[in-house]
Each structure stands twice: as C-alpha cells, then as structure tokens.
C-alpha cells in the first residue's frame, strides 16, 4: 500500500491548498490512503464537525490529532460518532473518542495508532511506549500494516520511540512541531521513520500563525492570542510511504514539499 501522510493542517489556508494539491499528487505518484493530523484544522485550534466533513470530502481517510484536539468544545458532541477521527490513545481511561482504528481501502486493511509524547507535554498521559505494546497486539489480529502518529515535542523521545517500534510499526512519523525534519529513513528492522512531517499552512508565518503574536510573546513574556496567518504562499509538507501488506515492512519513504 502507498500512504500519503500530511502533517498538521493549520486553518483555512491548509484546507484550501489540499483541494488543489491532493489531485495533483494523486495524478503524479498515486496513493491508496490519505492520513492527516487535524488538531489545528479549524481556525488553528481543534476541529469542528463542519471542518471534519470538509476534509472527508477532500479525500482524507484517517484524521489524527494531539493536545489541541479538545480546543473546540463541539468536538465532544461528535468524536464518538466519527471512527476516522482519532485522539491520542494514551489519554487516561474515560476520555471520549478513539485512539486507534483498523481501516479498509478496497481489499486492504491498515491500522493507525495515535500517540502523544510526554516530554514537555501533558504529564497525565499514560506511557506511550507501553500503550503501543498493548495496541499493537490488538491490531495485529487484523493487519500487519500499522502506522503511528507520534505527536510530541522532543526529537529524542520521537527517535527513541521509532527504534522501540522498529520492526513492528510499518511507519512512525512525528507531528506537533510544524517544522519538517530531514531525517526520513528506513530503520534497520523495516519501519519508515521521520521525526516530524511538518505542517500544511502559510509558509511565512510562525508555525502557521501570524508571526507578530509570537514575536510579541517572545519579547514581553506575556501570553498572546495566536491567529492563523491567512495571507501568503502555503507550504504542503507530506510523507509518501510504500508498505508491503504481507510483511508490514516499509519499502520506501519520501518527503514531499509543495508550495501553493
């Protein structure tokens, strides 16, 4: 199977860019399924039902998230009804939504596990390493093709997890920092890895937000309201991965960057 994996989508500019770019990439290289991190898809913070439905219409098959998944309170009204929308699986028991799923495209099955790191993140989270162990055994009953969105701040934690899951996960890809890393590779035991896919959002910005707010905060130390940057060229960062369905091993990984 061939997967197109999109990093954090930031607001309306990202959704508009996908409408143009996804058909182009499909025509050029083809792919079987699209996975995107959507925790910043609605106004830069969280996701709404309307935005979820728009992304489905655009062709996104599975939507992952992270610490901003709860920013739009209406998500509590529909997250249990939308199996294609995931929240980190290592939130404590009782939190709404699903942290993983097994999905089908044509005759092919694949699993997506959404995890969040703990370094510089939320301390109430369960250990993502041990949660992966448990969920991997569960999804392995249905498919060997297993993708993990590891939503985390620290590159060291992402790399450690990639090596920990090497040979079990088909793909481990980082999200959250919005900055693409140049370390995409096939690990020794067959897992495709990248520390961060990057974002889809306005390029000349502070991680998709208006730079003025971020600069003001760095200058003064005072909290500032961030707003999505709506003007300027949009960068689309993605990962293209080929996976052998029988073995679950990754065969090829390629970083994609387009400007719209």
Residue-wise pLDDT tens digits, 87-141: 999 999 999 999 999 999 999 999 999 999 999 987 789 999 999 999 999 999 9
Topology of the domain comprising 2-259: Purple Acid Phosphatase; chain A, domain 2 (3.60.21)
Average pLDDT, the chain: 96
Task: Report d(CA 6, CA 35) in Å as an integer.
Answer: 6
* pLDDT for the residue 134: 98
Within 13 A of 108's CA, how many CA atoms are on the CB side? 17
Residue 153 in 3-state DSSP? coil
Segment 208-219 mean pLDDT: 94
Beta bridge partners, 9, equal 200
For residue 172, list its beta bridge partners: 148, 193
For residue 181, the 8-state DSSP code is -
State the pairing for strand pair 192-194/171-175: parallel
> What positions carry a catalytic annotation?
68
Kindly tell me if the per-residue pLDDT of 47 is higher than 80: yes
pLDDT tens, position by position, 158-206: 999 999 999 999 999 999 999 999 999 999 999 999 999 999 999 999 9
Six-digit token pair at 25?
């990439």
Query: Cα angle vertex 151, ends 26, 20, to 5°?
Result: 25
DSSP 3-state assignment of 258?
strand
Please choose, from the candidates 159, 148, 160, 180, the residue with its C-alpha nearest in 3D space to the C-alpha of residue 259: 180
| Res. 1: pLDDT tops 80 | yes
Q: How confident is the model at residue 21 (pLDDT cuts 50, 70, 90)?
A: very high
Kindly report the number of other CB atoms within 10 A of residue 45's CB atom.
18
Residue 225 pLDDT grade (very low, low, confident, very high; cuts 50, 70, 90):
confident
Written as one string, the DSSP assignment of 39-103 is: TTTTTTSS--HHHHHHHHHHT--EEE--TTTTSSTTHHHHGGG-TTBB--TTSPTT-SSBSEEEE
pLDDT average, residue stretch 1-13: 97
- Burial tier of 214 (Cβ tally within 10 Å: 0-12, 13-18, 19+): middle
Please name the residues in contact with 137: beta carbons below 8 A apart, sequence gap of 6 or more.
none
Share of the chain above pLDDT 70, in %: 100
pLDDT given at position 122: 76
Pairwise CA distance, residues 195 & 175, whole Å: 8
């Amino acid at each position: 199977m061939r997967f197109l994996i999109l990093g954090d989508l930031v607001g309306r500019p990202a959704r508009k860019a996908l409408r143009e770019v996804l058909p182009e990439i499909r025509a050029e290289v083809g792919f079987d399924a699209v996975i995107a991190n959507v925790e910043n898809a609605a106004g830069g913070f969280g996701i709404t039902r309307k935005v979820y439905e728009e992304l489905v219409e655009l062709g996104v098959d599975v939507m992952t998230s992270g610490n901003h998944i709860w920013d739009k309170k209406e998500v509590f009204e529909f997250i249990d009804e939308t199996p294609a929308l995931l929240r980190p699986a290592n939130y404590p028991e009782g939190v709404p939504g699903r942290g993983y799923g097994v999905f089908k495209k044509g005759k092919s099955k694949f699993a997506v596990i959404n995890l969040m790191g703990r370094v510089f993140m939320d301390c109430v989270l369960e250990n993502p390493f041990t949660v992966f162990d448990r969920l991997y055994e569960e999804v392995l009953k249905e498919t060997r093709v297993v993708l993990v969105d590891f939503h985390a701040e620290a590159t060291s934690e992402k790399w450690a997890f990639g090596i920990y899951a090497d040979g079990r996960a088909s793909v481990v890809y980082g999200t959250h920092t919005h900055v693409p890393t140049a370390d995409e590779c096939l690990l020794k035991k067959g897992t495709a890895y990248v520390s961060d896919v990057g974002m889809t959002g306005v390029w000349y910005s502070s991680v998709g937000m208006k730079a003025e707010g971020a600069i003001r905060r760095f200058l003064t130390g005072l909290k500032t309201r961030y707003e999505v940057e709506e003007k300027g060229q949009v960068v689309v960062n993605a990962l293209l991965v080929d996976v052998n369905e029988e073995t679950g091993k990754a065969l090829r990984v390629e970083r994609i960057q387009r400007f719209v």
